[in-house]
Structure formats: C-alpha cells, structure tokens
C-alpha cells in the first residue's frame, strides 16, 4: 500500500509522499532503470503498468505494492476482465480455496517492532468479525502468511502478491522504518489488512484510476492476467473509504465499510 505514493499496489500512505510512494499510491516508488527492458516488457504483457516498477529481492514490485515473481512474468495467463467500471470491488482470477471453511495462520516476524504484532492481531480480529468461511489465526511460527521486514533499500511501504493453487500468497514485506510504530490498531492495521487483502485475492478498489486515492494523473493499473473481476453487489460509484484503495493518508484508519463487507462476503 502507499501513503499516497508507496501504496501503489497495496496501500499508498500519504505520510510517504516525501518517501516517494506507498505500496500503492503515487507509484513513483522507483525508477524503471532498475528493471531490465525484458522484465518491463513482461510486466506490461501481464497487463500491469510498468511505471514505477522496481526490482526487489525475489521479484518485482509494481503499482506500489503488488509483488510479482519471475515465474509470474514467465507464465502469463489469458487476461480475465468481467467489466470496466469506476471504483467497484475487484478480485483476481485466483482466490483461496476455503471449502466448507478454512483457517489461515498469520504471524509478524520478530524483525518487526512489537507494534506490528498488535497490528496483525487487529487484522485477525477485523477479518474474523465478518464471519467468513476464511478465518485468520495469529501464530508465533509456521504461519501460512508471514509479515517480515522489507529491505533497507525498499521504496515501498508494504507489498504482497496474489493467491495461487488455492492458497494465499505467503509473504507481506513491511517497511516499518517508513511506516513507524504509531497507531498500531488503526493506521498500521489498515495497511496490513490491505496487504492481506491482496494475499487472498483482492485488487485495488480504484484500479481503473488510482489517481482517485493517490492523486496525480489518471492511471489505470490494467486488468492484467491476474484478473480484475467485478464482485457482484459492489457499487459503480466512487467509494472513498474502502480498505482496498490504492493509497491512504498518513494516520488514516479504514476498517471494512459496508461495500468492503459485501465484497468479502461474496468471495468468502
């Protein structure tokens, strides 16, 4: 996500404007010269914007907070787009297989400040309060989703990928040095809940035009081969408070609103 800049693919936090961008908004997070022309071409082929793409350990971060592996780039699938609209809720082609019910374990690495344990536990509370078929459980080790420290060179606030083979993406990289430790149960929890949203298959609410939450010029993230499938029952009008908006202002809290709850309930 980005603080209106670093959130480009997850949460763009306004506090990061000076930092360059969150994981999702103002996605001028990095310069494209860090990524080879071949990789940039593959990113575009996947349907994501290559603007602001950055090379990171194990892959690439695009659109502020979306993590793509070399395997993602090498094996594009046909794009799936059910509808082009405004700020509706969208999911990826792949979601988590919950069957009749499934509990996903999550943990915050000891590399992160204690505030991130508090924030992660609040994320667990927020999701579980929705009585979904997908539950979260905080554990101290062996988790299916691990929140860990981003490299010191990271130019994003947080990043995560999308589900595969019926399982959630297993890693959220968090730039705690940029985010800080204040407002663990509100601001930080909102950022982490956003990234977990990506891990279980949600795209940015404003993917059609991330300038809605990030500012700047109109920017369409693209349907991509990961899919941008409209979730039935979500609005066609702008939704200024969704937890999956690309960017967020510093210190802002975005618990699930009515439209978010509809989206979560429709999928899980």
Mean pLDDT over residues 24-41, rounded? 57
pLDDT per residue as tens digits for the range 148-176: 999 988 888 999 999 989 999 999 999 99
pLDDT per residue as tens digits for the range 173-221: 999 999 999 999 999 999 999 999 999 988 888 756 666 677 765 444 4
Q: How many CB atoms lie within 10 A of CB 148?
A: 16
Mean pLDDT over residues 78-98, rounded? 56
- To the nearest 10°, the Cα dihedral for 80, 159, 232, 104? 110
Which of the pair, 47 or 55, is modelled with greater confidence?
55
Lowest mean pLDDT across 21-30, 52-61, 159-168: 21-30
Q: What is the pTM for the complete model shown?
A: 0.76
Q: Does domain 80-267 have CATH number 3.40.390.10?
A: yes
pLDDT band at residue 32 using 50, 70 and 90 as cut-offs? very low
pLDDT per residue as tens digits for the range 104-128: 999 999 999 999 999 999 999 999 9
Q: pLDDT > 90: what percent of the chain?
A: 40
- pLDDT at residue 19 in the model: 35
Tokens of 204: 């940015």
- pLDDT at residue 125 in the model: 98
pLDDT band at residue 264 using 50, 70 and 90 as cut-offs? very high
């Amino acid at each position: 996500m980005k603080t209106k800049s670093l959130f480009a693919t997850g949460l763009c936090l306004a506090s990061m404007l000076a930092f360059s961008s969150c994981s999702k908004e103002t996605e001028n997070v990095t310069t494209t010269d860090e990524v080879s022309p071949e990789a940039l071409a593959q990113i575009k082929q996947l349907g994501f914007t290559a603007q602001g793409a950055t090379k990171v350990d194990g892959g690439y971060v695009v659109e502020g907070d979306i993590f793509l592996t070399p395997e993602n780039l090498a094996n594009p699938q046909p794009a799936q787009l059910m509808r082009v609209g405004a700020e509706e809720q969208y999911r990826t082609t792949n979601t988590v297989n919950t069957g009749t019910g499934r509990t996903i374990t999550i943990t915050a690495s000891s590399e992160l400040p204690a505030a991130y344990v508090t924030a992660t536990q609040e994320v667990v509370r927020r999701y579980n309060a929705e009585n979904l078929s997908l539950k979260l459980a905080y554990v101290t080790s062996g988790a299916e989703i691990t929140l860990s420290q981003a490299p010191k060179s990271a130019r994003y606030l947080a990043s995560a990928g999308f589900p595969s083979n019926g399982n959630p993406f297993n890693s959220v990289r968090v730039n705690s040095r940029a985010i800080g430790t204040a407002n663990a149960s509100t601001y930080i929890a909102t950022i982490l809940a956003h990234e977990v949203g990506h891990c279980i298959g949600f795209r940015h609410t404003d993917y059609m035009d991330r300038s809605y939450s990030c500012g700047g010029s109109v920017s369409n993230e693209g349907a991509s081969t990961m899919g941008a499938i409209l979730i039935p029952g979500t609005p066609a009008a702008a939704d200024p408070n969704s937890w999956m908006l690309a960017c967020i202002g510093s210190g802002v809290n975005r618990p699930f609103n009515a439209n978010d709850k509809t989206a979560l309930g429709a999928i899980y």
